[in-house]
Amino acid sequence: MSGPVTKLSFWGVRGSTPTVDPATWRYGGNTPCLELTAPDGTQFILDCGTGLRVLGSRWTAPVHPTAAEQSPSGNYHPETHILVTHYHWDHIQGVPFFAPLYAENNSFHFYSFRSKHLGRDSLKQVFETQMATPYFPVNMSAMTAKKKFMEISGGDTFIVGENKVTARFINHPQGCLGYRIETPGGTVVYATDNEPGDPQLDKELLKLAEGADIFINDAQYTPEQLATTRKGWGHSSWHEGVGVAREAGAKTLVLFHHDPDATDRMVDGLLRHAREEFDSVFAASEGMVIKLGSTDGTLEAHMPVTRTALRREAQFRAKVTGITEGGHTFEEETVVHDLALQGALLSMAHCPRLQSELQITMETPGTNGPKVMKLRGYVVRIDANQEKGHSAVGVVFTE
C-alpha cells in the first residue's frame, strides 16, 4: 500500500444494547464506536458506545516509547475529535468509562447537534446527566481532560487538519447525524441509525454517501422485518444499504449496528445476501481494521488473527480432555467449528459436564506452517441433538 493511508478500527458494532450472548461473540457485543486515523495523524472517534471503553483501555495501557511514537493508537494524543451521531444510550454509554477523559493532558473536541428536547449545549447536558447522582458515582467534574463541545447541524462542513468533515441529518427518532470524512487517504461515510422512507432525508443520505470509499450503514433488520414488525423503529437493512451504495456510487459497503438478537450465524446470512448483490461488502466486526490507500486505490481489511485466518478453515481437528457429566475423565479426538477469539463450538461424542473445564489441543494453520495451540475452555452450553450421537459443546476460552 503506497501513498497516504487512512485507518479505520471497529471497537463496537452492536446496535441498541450490548450483548454478552456467546452466540454473538464473533461479531462482538459492544455498542457503536469507531476510530479513524487520518494520514496526517488526526484522530477521530465516531460515537461513544461501550466499545469506547475498550479503545480507552488500549490507549492508556503502557506502551514502549518507540511504539507510541510510531503508532497513532499509542499513548500520545494531543487532540481527538469525537463525532457523536445522536444521544441514544447505545451511542453515549461508553463515555463515563473512557479512561482518557480522566487525564488532564488529553484534549477532546466533541461534536453533535442541538436536540430540540434539550436546547443549548445538548451534548454536554447529555454527558452531565448520564453521570449525575444517582446514576454514576462521580460527576463530570472528575473528567479532568480538556473538553470542548461543538454544536453542528445538517449540511455543516468543517476542516480538521487535512480532512473535511460533513454532517447531514438522517432519518431516526429524535434526530441523528451521519458523517462524511474526506481524508487524503480516501472518504469514509458513517451513517448508522437511519430508516429509509423519508424522501428528503433519503436524499441527504445519498448526498452523504456519494462516491464514498467506505460506506458504513445501519443493517440492523432483515428486509422482511423492516417491511413489517420493525417498521418505524429507525433502522435499515442490508438490502437498503446495497441500494444506497449502488445509487451513490460507494465502493465498499459495511453492514453495521447488528441487532442484539442477531446471532453470528444470522449476521453471516445477511452478509451472504448482500454479497450476492454488491461486490464489496463487509459485516462490521469488533476488532476489524480497514486500511484505505488513495494512491493505488487499494483497500485492506483484516481482523485479529484468531477471528479470520482460523475462521476461513471451516473446521479443524483437536484433542480434548475433560470430565463427563458422570464425573469420569475422558479424552477424544474432535472437530472444532466456529472458532473465535473468545470461544468455539466443538462436536463431541462425550457429553462434558456443564461449567467444567476442557483442555483443547489443536493444530491451526499459521503463516510459517501449522502451529499447535493449547487452550483451556469452560463449557457454557451443550446441545445434545446432533447427528451421530454427537453433542455441540460451546466453550469460552479462559486462557
Residues at the contact surface with Zn ion, assessed by CB under 5 A: 15, 88, 90, 193
Taking the least distance from each CB to Zn ion, the nearer of 193 and 264 is 193
Distance CA 133, CA 70 (A): 41
Q: How far is the CB of 194 from Zn ion (least distance, A)?
A: 9
Amino acid identity, position 44: F
> Cα torsion at 58, 61, 64, 67 (round to 10°)?
20
Q: How far is the CB of 11 from Zn ion (least distance, A)?
A: 15
Taking the least distance from each CB to Zn ion, the nearer of 169 and 397 is 169
Taking the least distance from each CB to Zn ion, the nearer of 26 and 88 is 88
Distance CA 375, CA 321 (A): 11
Taking the least distance from each CB to Zn ion, the nearer of 37 and 93 is 93
Taking the least distance from each CB to Zn ion, the nearer of 15 and 39 is 15
Contact 81, 45 (CB under 8 A): yes
Amino acid identity, position 392: A
Distance CA 220, CA 226 (A): 9
Contact 45, 5 (CB under 8 A): no
Q: How far is the CB of 172 from Zn ion (least distance, A)?
A: 5
Taking the least distance from each CB to Zn ion, the nearer of 35 and 193 is 193
> Cα torsion at 269, 313, 342, 6 (round to 10°)?
-70
Contact 190, 251 (CB under 8 A): no
Q: How far is the CB of 143 from Zn ion (least distance, A)?
A: 23
Contact 321, 374 (CB under 8 A): no
Which of 24, 26, 30 minimizes the C-alpha distance to 11? 30
Q: How far is the CB of 177 from Zn ion (least distance, A)?
A: 11
Nearest position to Zn ion, beta carbon: 88
180 is written with which cell numbers?
Answer: 462524511
Amino acid identity, position 85: T
Angle of the 238-248 helix axis to the 199-209 helix axis, nearest 10:
60
**341 contact partners, CB below 8 Å, separation of at least 6:** 25, 287, 304, 306, 307, 397
Q: How far is the CB of 89 from Zn ion (least distance, A)?
A: 8
Distance CA 55, CA 98 (A): 8
Q: How far is the CB of 236 from Zn ion (least distance, A)?
A: 11
Taking the least distance from each CB to Zn ion, the nearer of 118 and 373 is 118
Q: How far is the CB of 179 from Zn ion (least distance, A)?
A: 14
Write phi, then psi, for 237 (nearest 5 degrees): -135, 165
Distance CA 257, CA 363 (A): 34
Q: How many C-beta neighbours within 10 Å does residue 198 have? A: 15
Taking the least distance from each CB to Zn ion, the nearer of 14 and 26 is 14
Q: How far is the CB of 90 from Zn ion (least distance, A)?
A: 4
Taking the least distance from each CB to Zn ion, the nearer of 36 and 176 is 176
